[in-house]
């Protein structure tokens, strides 16, 4: 009997639902329905260039960045990300990483990445939540592109308040000195891709890149599921 038969049988007794629209998934659909994926606005190359100039260019820490989607509040992608962050939908995180690879993988391959590093959570926040959602996105991306994921490189040493309501200056102050590198020898001379769930101002990614460069990383790149304009 085929794998699809067993998935269909499993779905009959324990139906799966899309985290974006809450509709029942068909056997052919992997964790997120096609309608939701197709409804999320794509980030064009021109928008990505503009956002790179706005968020990363001046600091000269991140050599390149990409994201497949545009983040919209209270829409499908936010529901999908919340299902990873708050409902332990790890497979959804992996699927989101696969989608990043499907859309942005060709560019990421040109960066010759040695390993992927998810933005770490502070240990208190991780203890409360139980896991880091960015790790599962990174895991799906890394598996798709055959790039190792290393979550032991960076450690978050400063408990920061949620960035959402802060201005750019406040975000930069909030995230300053929030991270440290745990394995400096592993970093030296390497090209590293940092993964966050959504890129807003870029302050967190710039701070991660700064301390990685300080201990001898070669080039730092960044990616996420979406750009929040």
Weakest mean pLDDT among 1-5, 70-74, 76-80: 1-5
Mean pLDDT to the nearest integer, 10-30: 78
Cα 96 from Cα 89, distance rounded (Å): 11
Mean pLDDT to the nearest integer, 158-178: 61
Judgement on whether residues 145 and 180 belong to the same structural domain of the protein: yes
Spatial CB neighbours of 184, under 8 Å, sequence gap ≥ 6: 215, 216
Is residue 76 within 8 Å of residue 122, measured between CB atoms? Answer: no
Judgement on whether residues 221 and 129 belong to the same structural domain of the protein: yes
Cα 206 from Cα 190, distance rounded (Å): 17
Only one residue has tokens 């390497």, namely 190
Domain containing 102 — which CATH number? 3.40.50
Is residue 38 within 8 Å of residue 32, measured between CB atoms? Answer: no
Judgement on whether residues 32 and 99 belong to the same structural domain of the protein: no
pLDDT at 3 over 50: no
Terminal Cα distance for the chain, rounded: 48
pLDDT at 12 over 50: no
Judgement on whether residues 190 and 117 belong to the same structural domain of the protein: yes
User: How do residues 76-135 score in pLDDT, each as one tens digit?
Assistant: 999 999 999 888 899 999 999 999 999 999 999 999 999 999 999 866 665 456 678 999
Query: Residue 116: beta bridge partners?
Result: 149, 193
pLDDT at 21 over 70: yes
Tokens of 173: 């102050």
Residue 156's domain spans which residues? 40-227
pLDDT at position 130, please? 61
Mean pLDDT to the nearest integer, 53-78: 95
% of residues, the chain, pLDDT over 70 = 82
pLDDT at position 132, please? 87
User: How do residues 132-159 score in pLDDT, each as one tens digit?
Assistant: 899 999 999 999 999 999 999 998 887 6
Judgement on whether residues 84 and 21 belong to the same structural domain of the protein: no
pLDDT at position 124, please? 61
pLDDT band at 210 (very low <50, low <70, confident <90, very high): very high
pLDDT at position 5, please? 43
Judgement on whether residues 147 and 87 belong to the same structural domain of the protein: yes
For Cα atoms 155, 82, 228, give the angle at the middle one, nearest 5 degrees: 80
Mean pLDDT to the nearest integer, 216-226: 97
Judgement on whether residues 20 and 59 belong to the same structural domain of the protein: no
Only one residue has tokens 């990873």, namely 84
Cα 195 from Cα 199, distance rounded (Å): 9
pLDDT at 6 over 60: no
Judgement on whether residues 28 and 106 belong to the same structural domain of the protein: no
Judgement on whether residues 29 and 110 belong to the same structural domain of the protein: no
Mean pLDDT to the nearest integer, 1-17: 54
Torsion of CA 106, 110, 111, 113, to 10 degrees: 70
Q: How many domains does the chain have?
A: 2
Judgement on whether residues 77 and 21 belong to the same structural domain of the protein: no
pLDDT at 8 over 60: no
Residue 205 parent element (H or E): helix 203-214
Q: State CA 219 to chain mean position distance.
A: 18
Judgement on whether residues 26 and 105 belong to the same structural domain of the protein: no
Judgement on whether residues 115 and 136 belong to the same structural domain of the protein: yes
């Amino acid at each position: 009997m085929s794998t699809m038969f067993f998935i269909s049988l499993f779905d009959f007794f324990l139906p799966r639902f899309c985290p974006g629209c809450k509709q029942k998934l068909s056997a052919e659909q992997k964790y997120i329905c096609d309608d939701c994926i197709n409804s999320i606005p794509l980030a064009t190359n021109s928008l990505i260039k503009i956002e790179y100039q706005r968020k990363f260019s001046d600091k000269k820490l991140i050599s390149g960045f990409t994201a497949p989607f545009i983040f919209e509040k209270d829409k499908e992608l936010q529901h999908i990300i919340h299902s990873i962050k708050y409902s332990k939908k790890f497979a959804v995180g992996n699927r989101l990483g696969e989608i990043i690879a499907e859309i942005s993988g060709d560019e990421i391959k040109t960066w010759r990445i040695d390993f992927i590093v998810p933005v770490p959570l502070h240990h208190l926040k991780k203890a409360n939540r139980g896991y880091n959602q960015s790790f599962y996105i990174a895991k799906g991306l890394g598996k798709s592109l055959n790039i190792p994921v290393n979550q032991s490189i960076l450690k978050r040493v400063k408990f920061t308040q949620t960035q959402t309501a802060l201005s750019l200056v406040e975000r930069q102050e909030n995230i300053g000195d929030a991270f440290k590198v745990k394995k400096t020898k592993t970093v030296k001379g390497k090209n590293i891709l940092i993964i966050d769930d959504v890129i807003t101002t870029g302050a967190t990614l710039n701070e991660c890149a700064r301390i990685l460069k300080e201990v001898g990383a070669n080039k730092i790149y960044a990616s996420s599921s979406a750009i929040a304009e």
